[in-house]
């Protein structure tokens, strides 16, 4: 049997991984880049960076695996969601891509709600209009850059620009498409109603495919640039969160995943298009055919601990900080931390929200502050999980954990106690890139379904179960939930 290749076009690097028929990772390579912030709260990136990085990472991953392009049966793509790549009629880039973390479009979000109707927008797309999404970025370009708007003829998402260069086709997957606020969630395709209300030509949007569907094949030019074989199938793949869920096995209803990276994500696969009426959750199509998912996003999860370490314990290894926090009892002796250091999305879609320590006394030391940060992140994830349950999802007994935060035994146990579920972490740490490779394995015909692929390839390495501290955390979470309503007026004044 050959191998499959997963490519992850993230905000800071493009990663390529090679896996075999047993799911083993044979080779990994990554090529990094930065992004520009031309003004405060803006974030842009040149699409050429992604393709150059892919050309660098792909042959190095193959070499690390001891394989050549002739051994690759299929390729899967994943990457950062929501970014706007504008092309002209000749497929040339019109302007730098506006990224998911760009916050310039508050006025355009208001205009979208007014054009579609706030309730109707959530009913159709599953989501409120948020500055990170693609639709407000399109509206911003039309309002502020008329010359660029006049040149525009096509819209792609970031990973799909790499697809264009790799396979010569304009296409996306249904998971990434549903993160634009231009998708009909139930129909799993672009919404004529929303596109019409916003005055966007449907011909600009690429066709949307299910995650394991083949969208095209490697061109002769791309083969020469990467060392791949001309004609190698390229499957649709998925946005990074959906692909990460495939990589940890959250592909059937009832399976829930939590990722504790810079941001924090609670992800639940569903068999129908559920949504939260107030738009406090994201509701997207899954990268799995016939599946959807609910997603809660907090903006500063492990990022909160990084901030704390850099500000108060520079150079201290994260493992040492977390281990010392394990010496402190659950609840941090009455200390609470609100992790809204970058504003928040779920459960409070408030860009003005701020972080806070509440309850400090002379008895607290650095260990207490560290544990309070870890607990505050877990409470924020619990808020998102509770919203999902209220939207109709059964409360899980087992959660699939990933991201750097779950590498800490102390943090894993806090998560198990706060979320009230067993936390199982996968054997591989390659995340979304691994999920893209699994989707490629299905597209290559190795497996008949995505579930069959994950059942065969994805294995749990470590497990934490709820312990005796769970009841204490339930009471602490009640106190935590009182903080945002009490402090929100102060945040706005600040």
DSSP character string of 3-18 = EEEEEEE-SSEEEEEE
**Residues, the chain, total?**
494
Short-list 458, 463, 464, CA closest to 431? 458
Residues recognised as catalytic: 240
The predicted pLDDT at position 304 comes to 94
According to the model, what pLDDT value does residue 459 have? 85
Architecture in CATH of 249-426+459-494: 2-Layer Sandwich (3.30)
How far apart are the C-alpha atoms of 275 and 374, rounded to whole Å? 28
- Cβ contact 387:346 at 8 Å: yes
- Asked if CATH classification 2.40.50.140 holds for the domain at 3-241, the reply, yes or no, is no
Whether the CB-CB separation of 396 and 254 falls below 8 Å is answered with yes
pLDDT in the model for residue 137: 98
Q: Cis before residue 464, ω within 30 degrees of 0?
A: no
The pLDDT value recorded for residue 476 is 97
The values of phi and psi at residue 32, to 5°, are -95, 165
- Tell the residue number behind the tokens 């929501």, with chain if given: 82
pLDDT reported for residue 306: 93
| C-alpha closest to that of 261 among 5, 7, 12 | 12
Instruction: Give the predicted TM-score (pTM) of the model.
Output: 0.90
Per-residue pLDDT, 364: 98
Segments in the chain below pLDDT 50: none
In a 3-state reduction of DSSP, which class is residue 341? Answer: strand
Rounded percentage of the chain residues whose pLDDT exceeds 90: 85
Token duo for residue 291: 């599946």
What token pair was written down for 107? 């006025």
Please give the distance of CA 144 from its chain centroid, rounded to a whole number.
Answer: 28
CA angle, residues 306, 308, 312, in degrees to nearest 5: 125
CB 236 within 8 A of CB 213: yes
Task: Retrieve residue 419's tokens.
Answer: 């979320």
Cα–Cα dist 231/9, whole Å = 21
Residues 6+ apart with CB under 8 A from 415: 258, 260, 378, 381, 399, 401, 406, 423, 464
Q: Which structure tokens are listed for 328?
A: 């402190």
In the chain, CATH 3.30.420.40 covers 3-241, 249-426+459-494
Question: What is the DSSP secondary-structure string of 358-424?
Answer: ES--TT--HHHHHHHHHHHHHHHHHHHHHHHHHTTPPPPSEEEEESGGGGSHHHHHHHHHHHTSEEE
What is the rounded CA–CA span in Å between residue 323 and residue 304? 17
pLDDT at position 51 is: 98
Strands, E assignment, 403-482: 422-426, 460-464
Strand 214-217 relative to strand 208-209, pairing: unpaired
Contact 100, 80 (CB under 8 A): yes
């Amino acid at each position: 049997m050959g191998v499959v290749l997963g490519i992850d076009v993230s905000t800071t690097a493009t990663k390529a991984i090679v896996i075999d028929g047993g799911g083993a990772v044979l080779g990994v390579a990554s090529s990094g880049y930065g992004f520009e912030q031309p003004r405060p709260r803006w974030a842009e990136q040149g699409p050429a960076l992604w393709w150059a990085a892919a050309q660098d990472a792909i042959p190095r991953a193959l070499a690390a695996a001891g394989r050549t392009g002739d051994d690759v049966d299929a390729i899967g793509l994943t990457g950062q969601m929501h970014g706007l790549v504008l092309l002209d009629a000749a497929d040339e880039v019109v302007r730098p891509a506006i990224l998911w973390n760009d916050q310039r479009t508050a006025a355009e979000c208001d205009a979208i709600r007014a054009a579609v109707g706030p309730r109707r927008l959530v009913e159709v797309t599953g989501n409120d209009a948020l500055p990170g999404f693609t639709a407000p970025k399109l509206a911003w370009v039309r309002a502020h850059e008329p010359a660029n708007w006049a040149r525009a003829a096509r819209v792609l998402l970031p990973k799909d620009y790499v697809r264009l260069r790799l396979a010569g086709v304009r296409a996306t997957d249904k998971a990434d498409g549903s993160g634009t606020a231009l998708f009909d969630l139930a129909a799993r395709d672009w919404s004529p109603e929303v596109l019409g209300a916003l005055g966007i030509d449907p011909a600009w949007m690429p066709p949307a495919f299910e995650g394991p569907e083949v969208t095209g094949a490697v061109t002769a030019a791309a083969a020469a640039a990467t060392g791949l074989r001309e004609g190698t199938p390229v499957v649709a793949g998925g946005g990074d969160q959906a692909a990460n869920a495939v990589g940890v096995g959250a592909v059937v209803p009832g399976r829930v995943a939590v990722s504790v990276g810079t941001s924090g994500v609670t992800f639940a696969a569903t068999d129908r298009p559920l949504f939260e009426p107030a738009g406090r959750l994201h509701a997207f199509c899954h990268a799995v055919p016939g599946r959807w998912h609910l997603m809660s996003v907090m903006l500063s999860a492990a990022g909160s601990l990084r901030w704390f370490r850099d500000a108060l314990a520079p150079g201290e290894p994260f493992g040492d900080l977390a281990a010392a926090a394990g010496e402190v009892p659950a609840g941090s002796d009455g200390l609470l931390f609100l992790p809204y250091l970058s504003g928040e999305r779920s459960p409070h879609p408030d860009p003005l929200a701020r972080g806070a320590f509440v309850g400090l006394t002379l008895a607290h030391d650095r260990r207490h502050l560290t544990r309070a940060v870890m607990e505050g992140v877990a409470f924020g994830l619990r808020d998102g999980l509770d919203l999902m349950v209220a939207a109709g999802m059964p409360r899980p007994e087992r959660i699939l954990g990933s991201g750097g935060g779950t590498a800490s035994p102390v943090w894993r146990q806090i998560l198990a106690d706060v979320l009230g579920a067993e936390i199982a972490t996968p054997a591989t740490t390659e995340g979304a890139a691994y999920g893209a490779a699994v989707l490629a394995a299905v597209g290559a015909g190795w497996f008949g379904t995505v579930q069959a692929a994950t059942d065969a390839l994805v294995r749990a390495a470590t497990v934490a179960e709820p312990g005796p501290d769970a009841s204490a955390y339930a009471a602490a979470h009640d106190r935590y939930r009182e903080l945002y309503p009490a402090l929100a007026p102060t945040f706005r004044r600040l």
